[in-house]
Structures are given as C-alpha cells and as structure tokens.
Amino acid sequence: MVAMGIPRSKWQDEGVNSPRLGLDALRDMRGQRRRHRVETIEWFEALYRVYLAAFMGGGAILFLSSVAGDEQITGQALRDVTANIPHVVGFIAALVVFTGLRSGANGGPIAVEEAEVRHVLMSPIEHAAVLRHPAIQRLRTFAFAGAIAGGTANQLLGRRITSAGTSLALWALYGAIAGALLASLFVVAALLIHALAIPRWATTSIGVCILAWQGAVTFTSSSIAGPFDFIGSISRWWLNGVHIPDIVAIAVVLLITAVAVSLTGRLSLEALSRRSSLVSQLKFAVTLQDIRTVVLLRRQLSQEHMRVKPWVKVPKLLRRDIVVGRGLRSIAHFPLRRIIRMELLTVSAAGALVMAYRGTTPAIVVAGLLLFVVGLDAVEPLSQEVDQPDRTDALPLERGLLMTKHLIVPALVTLPFLFVGVLVAVVLEPAVSTVGYAFLLGIPALLGGVAGASINAVKGAPDPVGGANEALALPPEMSGIGNVIRAAWPPTVAIVSCAPVLALRLSIENNSQVFGNTLRATLGVFMFLTLIAGWVRQRDAIHKWFRTAQQQSKASTRTGSI
C-alpha cells in the first residue's frame, strides 16, 4: 500500500472563489508556452511564409483589380452603385450573420485545444477567465481579415469613382472599418447563440428572418431599411461623409460585442470538447485540400448523423443490382437537414443561373459551386466506397466498374432537385418557354455538379508524401500551381456544365437559333460528362498504362546510356 497522500490545495483553505486560484498558473503557463513557440520558430520558414502570403495576396489583388477594371463609373451607373451599396453589403453581412448563428448553434466559434478542455476548463477556474482570451483572438483575426478584404474592395471601387474626389487612403479606411465590422459579426453572432444556448431550430429561424428581411430590402424595390444597411453605408462614407446614425450603429455593435465576450463563461464544455479535436483535423484537411475529409468533419461538427430508420424501404426490384441497391439504401438514410440543405443550394443555384441569363455572367461560377456542393452530398455512396479502399479492392469486381455503377444513383437523386430548380426559374422568369429551357439547362447543370463531386471522390485525398513526392523538390510557387489545378478541377467541371445558359443568352441577344444553339451547348456538356464517366470507369487502367509507359521509357533510356 502506498501512502502518497492527496495533495492539499489553496481552495481547501481559501475556498474556490479565491480570485487568484489557478489564474497565476494559467498566466504563467500561457507565457511559457508562448516563449516555447517563439523559441522553436524557424525564422527562415516564417519569413518564407510571409513572402508566400504576400505573393498570393498580391496576386489575388492584381487579379481582382484586372476583373474590376479601370473604367470610370458615372451618371446613372454611379447613382445605381451608390444607391445599392448599403443593401448589397448589408446582404453579405446578413449571410455572414446567418453562418455565424449556425456556427454558434453547432458549438462555435471558439475551438480550444482538447488538453485545455480537459485540464484547464475542468479545474476550479472561472471559464470566462480562460475563454475570454481565445474569443478576443478569434474576433481580432476575423476583424483583421475583414478589414483587409473591405479595404481592398473599397480601394478597387475608389479607382473607378475618382469623381468623388476622396483620397484612396480614405476609401480603403472606410472599407476596412466596414469589413472589420462585417467579419466580426460572425464571431459575435456565434458567441451569443452558443452562450445563450439557443436551440438550433430557433437559431435557424432567427437567421432566416434576418436573411429574408435584408434580402427583401436588397432584391425588391422596398423603401424600408435593412438590418445591416449601416455596414454598407459606412463603406459609402466617401459619398456623404461620416453619417451619425452609422456611428450609433457601430457603438451598438461594439456594445453587443462586449456582451458576447463577457458571456464566454457560459460556453458549453460539451461543445468545446467536441470541437476541440474536430477543428484541428478540419484545419489539417483544409491544408491538404482534402474536400472529402472536410465534408465529413463538417458533418461531425454540426452533428449531422444519418437517419437510423430509412425514409423508405428500397424495393427488391431496385436492389437487383447490389451496387445500385446499396446506393439507394444510403440515400434513404439521408437526414432531413441534408435534404433541406441540398434543396436550398439548388434553389440558390437556380437563382444564380437566372441572374446569368439576365446578364451577370460570373453568376454561373456561383451556380456551379453551389451545385458542386449539392453533388458532394449526392455522391455519398460513392464516397463511402472510396473511404474503404481495402474493402473495395477485396471485391470480385473491377474497381472502375464499381465506381461507374455508383454514379447511377447520384444522377437519379438529382431529379427531384431538378424540379425544384425549374420551379424557381419559372417563378423568376414567368413564361411558358421557361419550363423547357429550365429542363434543358438544369439537367446538365445538376449532372455537372455530380460529375465534379465524383472526380473529387474518386481521385481521393492528396498524398503529401506519396506519388507527389517529386513535387516536394519544387518551390511552392511551382508545386502550388499543380495543387491549385488539382483542387480547382472538380468545381470547374460543375461550372462548365452551367455554361449552356450563356449560349441561351447570347442566342437571344443575337437573335439567332435560340433553341438550336442552347441544345448544341447542352449536348456538348453531355459529351463532356460522358468523358468524365469514362474516366471514372477506366481511371485505373489509364494509370496502369501510364506507369508502364513511364517504366518502359526509363528502362529504354538506361539501355541507351549503357
């Protein structure tokens, strides 16, 4: 028997409410860990990272400025821009708040280390004292990123409105203030919802109301003000100078921010514990551009589980092909939340396609990306198969054939979403011909989303030390291009599949063979998608052929050199 004795604590003498209990240790250890981190920093690597960030940031700004152009905005266009800025920026803010509310309902926005939860948050120290620091850090990061984005956007706009006579520095400053406030709203909304433990359904309702209000103000000719118009109004101070009501709104936001930070002590330990490990895995997956892992971790973070009881029992007839049957069974277990999300994304994508039809060409990028996300959910049976390579390889079935069969169910699953998309198109463009063209454009667009997601699933996660190790010898500027192409290819397929809407628009503008041109564009996309299906089927064979050819080439080079 040992007789070690349980140690005695200050709280046994002074009570747990002793204000300094544990706080000295917390402060000392945070300081010590900071020093550890500084000591272990590879300064050359840190400087290289700064250089890379400047390189990428500078490139992004140059790209954006080339997109924005330099032509001066004058006359009616200027009046439209100045009138719409508050609403449009307000709508972006409403979207940010909506995602913040959802994040809070899912246990965000803070993610502390798992060890911090286990050792610090379970010790007798006020949680607020521990969590205030990461909350402020999170606010600072978002505000900084928002300020950079807002400052850049306003500065680019300022170059096109030199008639305002405002210096570019002031343009940037006003944009930075608006951007910082806008981004901070994400953290503030999430903190409040999490700390006040507002249930998810109530949070979604609040978010939808805010979005609907700001959306109505932005997209209709309503004369009422939107809840976040003031942020856009700040970015427009170059027009009328500083606006007092905006200053009052800023003060209110700062007050709410202070309240949110003061409530950090009420954050749920369960949510913090759940997020602690998931968020670090998520960051790692994002670093590796591993979209599948990101999707899975996002589902875990938001506790989106498959239904235990399927919506419907898959009939025996549909289960005759075991792969198709397995796919249908997977879809039958989809949670309601996922189905609603897919519907909302389809509705938004249909809206974006209508915008592209009306003349906003970049809207096809939005539509393509939204349908790519729909596809990521739709190809779940295929992704599950790819997640289990050992099992797949053990099957007495060619991998390519298995994967191709797994494309059937996701393609069928998009059908109900197609009808929703057509409905949206008819509501936004009420005409008889809309129905036909919506089907003609909707089918390839939805299948393109599935095709992009399938490529993403089949190619799997990037292997940082495997086949790509030749790239490790290259500088990041060079190997980065390969990574970007690899990551951008699947969503690009989805975006390209939305392109027939441009053929429709151009045909109407040029008054030439509207149906014929649209049909030809659609058939072109179908051929493209067939090629992708063929790639899925023959991918292993192509890889095998390529490796053999490579080895033969190396062998013949060696023989030649001897």
**Residues found near other proteins in the complex (CB under 8 A):** 1-12, 14, 16-18, 21-22, 24-26, 28-29, 32-33, 36-37, 113-120, 122-126, 268-270, 273, 303, 305, 308
Q: How far is the CB of 345 from other proteins (least distance, A)?
A: 22
Q: How far is the CB of 272 from other proteins (least distance, A)?
A: 10
Nearer to other proteins, 303 or 517 (CB): 303
Report the C-alpha gap between 283 and 290 in whole angstroms.
10
Give CA angle at 418 (416, 423), nearest 5°: 100
Count CB-CB contacts under 10 A for residue 224: 9
Q: How far is the CB of 6 from other proteins (least distance, A)?
A: 5
- Is the separation of the CB atoms in 236 and 177 below 8 Å? no
Cis peptide bond upstream of 475, omega within 30: no
Look-up: residue for tokens 């945070």? Answer: 30
Look-up: residue for tokens 């309702």? Answer: 205
Q: How far is the CB of 335 from other proteins (least distance, A)?
A: 9
Q: How far is the CB of 359 from other proteins (least distance, A)?
A: 45
Amino acid symbol at 218: T
CA atoms within 13 A on the CB side of 273: 9
Q: How far is the CB of 293 from other proteins (least distance, A)?
A: 20
Nearer to other proteins, 273 or 434 (CB): 273
Nearer to other proteins, 277 or 392 (CB): 277
Report the C-alpha gap between 164 and 157 in whole angstroms.
11
Q: How far is the CB of 120 from other proteins (least distance, A)?
A: 6
By C-alpha distance, which of 347, 371, 367, 361 is closest to 505? 361
Look-up: residue for tokens 């067939």? Answer: 530
Nearer to other proteins, 49 or 118 (CB): 118
Q: How far is the CB of 15 from other proteins (least distance, A)?
A: 9
- Is the separation of the CB atoms in 238 and 164 below 8 Å? yes
Report the C-alpha gap between 56 and 50 in whole angstroms.
10
- Is the separation of the CB atoms in 301 and 286 below 8 Å? no
Q: How far is the CB of 292 from other proteins (least distance, A)?
A: 23
| 252 class by beta-carbon count within 10 Å (0-12 exposed, 13-18 middle, 19+ buried) | exposed
Nearer to other proteins, 82 or 281 (CB): 281
Q: How far is the CB of 381 from other proteins (least distance, A)?
A: 22
Reading phi first (left if > 0) and then psi (alpha if -120 to 50, else beta), residue 513 is in left
C-alpha 134 chain-centroid distance: 23
Element holding 387 (H helix, E strand): helix 380-387
Report the C-alpha gap between 235 and 248 in whole angstroms.
15
Nearer to other proteins, 40 or 221 (CB): 40
Nearer to other proteins, 227 or 335 (CB): 335
Nearer to other proteins, 115 or 527 (CB): 115
Report the C-alpha gap between 88 and 178 in whole angstroms.
13
Nearer to other proteins, 118 or 391 (CB): 118
Four-CA torsion 503, 508, 514, 519, nearest 10 degrees = 20
- Measured over the CA atoms of residue 27, residue 32, residue 33 and residue 39, the dihedral's sign is positive
Q: How far is the CB of 12 from other proteins (least distance, A)?
A: 6
Nearer to other proteins, 340 or 531 (CB): 340
Q: What is the DSSP letter of 116?
A: I
With residues binned 3-state (H G I as helix, E B as strand, rest as coil), the percentages for the chain, rounded to 5, are 80, 0, 20
Kindly state the tokens that stand for 535. Answer: 């790639």
Look-up: residue for tokens 């027939």? Answer: 500
Nearer to other proteins, 118 or 554 (CB): 118
- Is the separation of the CB atoms in 284 and 166 below 8 Å? no
Nearer to other proteins, 34 or 547 (CB): 34
Q: How far is the CB of 149 from other proteins (least distance, A)?
A: 32
